[in-house]
């Protein structure tokens, strides 16, 4: 069984002649233990074209030290990675499927093999507070690394790593960094030992252009698309591990990508991305099946917890579990089947190809501060048409449908504003806040519309089994009231943003 932990660490270049400075007197540090010495050996696995390393993922088999085993490191954010571990099986030299399955979004059918062999002599100091809690570890590594295959190279170097402990915080990291800088020890340009050793094969990272109000529309749009593609891949392992909110975050990234390609089709040629947006719609739909059930179950369970006991005759919570559990299991299986399938791999290939060779239009070369507001205003006009239609619609199913279309249009405006956020002014920020409030009201209305028939179905099943269904009638009435309140709130929220804009 895998175990996992989040590690927050920083790496530093240690030039010849520099030693680890005194670590006493740092904020909150009562004692410094060490140094302890360890001999570590690690074999790193990747594809021939280094797909994992290019995605800032590492997969290794480490022996020696206190954490020997198979380690998969997944990027989370600046200085932070999730490390998934399996015990070391000395009879196996091949990466376990439990780990390689988590990075299928990167591997896409390619088999990882050894790409590097590292030997490290480590000296470790532990910084602890007055209660004996671990604040941070500082290690000095003397490394010898060798690449594998034809043209293998050998390199030796020395580096410093500082990793936060359970009781530490970023202020201590900053204080240690300042102490190291005084000794001439500066941040490493390589995020990992492996990336340093494979630098020649990886090549330099293509730095994303710095976005300013003078940036081109193409640069701004591509920066946003790149960010969402990264998020899509980053949340893939979390979905596979059934982590909280991972499906939601992956679905949001998918929707943002699709919306940006639609709204900014005059910057990134819409005709050449139409098939891609269809595939993004497919993926969002698969993820939505699982996410919508999760949201509805949570909605009903929170409502039940808020009811007085006398309004809950019968096994209400048990009935909700019996209804949702099999559907959620089936929806999760559908998500995993989709993520493991060729269609998803082809979608990821298409997204990589889009970023590598984007189909930019002539308009993409013009200033974003001029081009993007026009496209946001266009999306706003489309929202206005949908909202006016909803306000004039007959109450009932027709209005419910029109309000749902307004919600989707509001979401497109919000995402369009997100894309342009780096170059839009303060007025756009206020506009975005208003759109978000409008979207929230419309979301509440749609949740009520969708919830009512589900409650009727649950009540029908409960009645057929001889259970008291009064509580489900109470919940149905609650959903009707919430939807009516949201419908009334829509008119007010729309007035706030109807004449706003960028």
pLDDT at 162 (0 to 100): 95
- Residue 93's Cα: distance from chain center in Å? 31
Both tokens of 282, joined, read: 């497919």
Give SS3 for 58.
Answer: strand
> To 10 degrees, what angle do helices 246-263 and 397-420 make?
80
> Helix H segments across 116-208?
170-182, 193-197, 199-202
Question: In this predicted structure, what is the pLDDT of residue 91?
Answer: 55
Global pTM? 0.91
Quote the pLDDT of residue 65: 85
d(CA 160, CA 124): 10
CA distance readout (Å), 54 to 8, 151, 346: 20, 20, 18
- Rounded CA separation 340/348 (Å): 12
Q: How many CB atoms lie within 10 A of CB 8?
A: 19
Torsion sign across C-alpha atoms 377, 378, 383, 385: positive
| Residues composing the chain | 502
Q: Give residue 105's pLDDT.
A: 95
Using DSSP, state whether 487 is helix, strand or coil: helix
Of 445, 452, 455, 453, the residue nearest 402 (C-alpha) = 445
The Cα-based distances of 374 to 89, 266, 369, 411 in angstroms read 59, 11, 9, 17
pLDDT of residue 288: 96
Is residue 112 within 8 Å of residue 47, measured between CB atoms? yes
Angle between helices 217-240 and 397-420 (to 10 degrees): 110
What is the model's pLDDT at position 427? 83
DSSP assigned state of 501: -
Residue 205: what pLDDT? 65
Q: How far apart (Å, rounded) are the C-alpha atoms in residues 368 and 352?
A: 23
Q: Quick one: residue 20, left, alpha or beta (phi over 0 = left, psi -120 to 50 = alpha)?
A: beta
How far apart, in whole angstroms, are the C-alpha atoms of residue 44 and residue 59?
A: 6
Mean pLDDT, contiguous 10-residue spans, the chain (502 residues): 88 84 92 93 95 94 90 89 86 86 95 95 95 94 91 90 93 94 90 90 75 92 95 96 95 96 96 97 97 96 94 93 97 97 97 96 95 92 94 91 94 92 85 92 93 96 95 95 92 86 66
Among candidate residues 106, 84, 98, 334, the one with its CA nearest the CA of residue 232: 106
């Amino acid at each position: 069984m895998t175990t996992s932990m989040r590690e927050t660490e920083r790496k530093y270049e240690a030039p010849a002649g520099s030693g680890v400075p005194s670590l006493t007197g740092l904020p909150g540090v009562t004692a410094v233990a060490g140094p302890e010495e360890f001999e570590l050996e690690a074999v790193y696995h990747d594809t021939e074209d280094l797909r994992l390393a290019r995605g800032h993922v590492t997969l290794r088999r480490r022996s020696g030290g206190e954490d020997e085993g198979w380690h998969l490191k997944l990027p989370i954010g600046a200085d932070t990675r999730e490390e998934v571990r399996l015990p070391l099986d000395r009879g196996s030299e091949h990466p376990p499927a439990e780990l390689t399955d988590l990075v299928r979004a990167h591997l896409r059918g390619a088999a990882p093999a050894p790409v590097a062999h590292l030997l490290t002599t480590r000296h470790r100091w532990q910084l602890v507070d007055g209660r004996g809690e671990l604040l941070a570890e500082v290690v000095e590594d003397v490394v010898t690394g060798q690449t594998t295959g034809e043209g293998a190279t050998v390199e030796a170097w020395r580096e410093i790593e500082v990793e936060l402990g359970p009781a530490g915080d970023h202020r201590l990291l900053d204080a240690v960094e300042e102490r190291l800088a005084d000794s001439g020890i500066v941040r490493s340009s390589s995020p990992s030992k492996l990336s340093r050793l494979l630098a020649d094969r990886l090549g330099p990272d293509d730095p994303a252009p710095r976005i300013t109000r003078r940036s081109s529309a193409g640069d701004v749009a591509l920066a946003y698309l790149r960010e969402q593609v990264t998020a899509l891949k980053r949340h893939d392992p979390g979905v596979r591990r059934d982590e909280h909110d991972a499906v939601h975050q992956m679905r949001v990234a998918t929707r943002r990508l699709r919306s940006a390609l639609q709204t900014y089709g005059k910057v990134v040629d819409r005709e050449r991305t139409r098939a891609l947006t269809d595939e993004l719609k497919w993926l969002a739909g698969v993820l939505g099946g699982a996410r919508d059930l999760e949201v509805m179950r949570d909605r009903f369970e929170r409502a039940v917890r808020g009811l007085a006991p006398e309004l809950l005759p019968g096994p209400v919570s048990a009935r909700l579990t019996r209804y949702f559990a099999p559907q959620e299991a089936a929806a999760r299986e559908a998500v995993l089947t989709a993520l493991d399938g060729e269609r998803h791999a082809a979608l990821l290939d298409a997204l990589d190809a889009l970023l590598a060779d984007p189909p930019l239009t002539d308009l993409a070369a013009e200033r974003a501060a001029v081009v993007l507001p026009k496209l946001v205003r266009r999306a706003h006009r489309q929202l206005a048409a949908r909202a006016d239609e909803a306000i004039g619609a007959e109450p009932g199913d027709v209005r419910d449908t029109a309000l749902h279309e307004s919600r989707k249009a509001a979401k497109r405006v919000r995402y369009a504003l997100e894309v342009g956020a780096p170059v839009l002014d303060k007025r756009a920020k206020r506009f975005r806040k208003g759109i978000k409030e409008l979207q929230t009201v419309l979301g509440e209305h749609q949740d009520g519309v969708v919830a009512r028939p589900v409650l009727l179905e649950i009540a029908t099943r409960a009645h057929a089994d001889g259970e008291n269904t009064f509580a489900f009638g109470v919940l149905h009435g609650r959903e009707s009231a919430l939807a009516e309140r949201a419908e009334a709130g829509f008119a007010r929220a729309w007035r706030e943003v109807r004449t706003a804009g960028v």
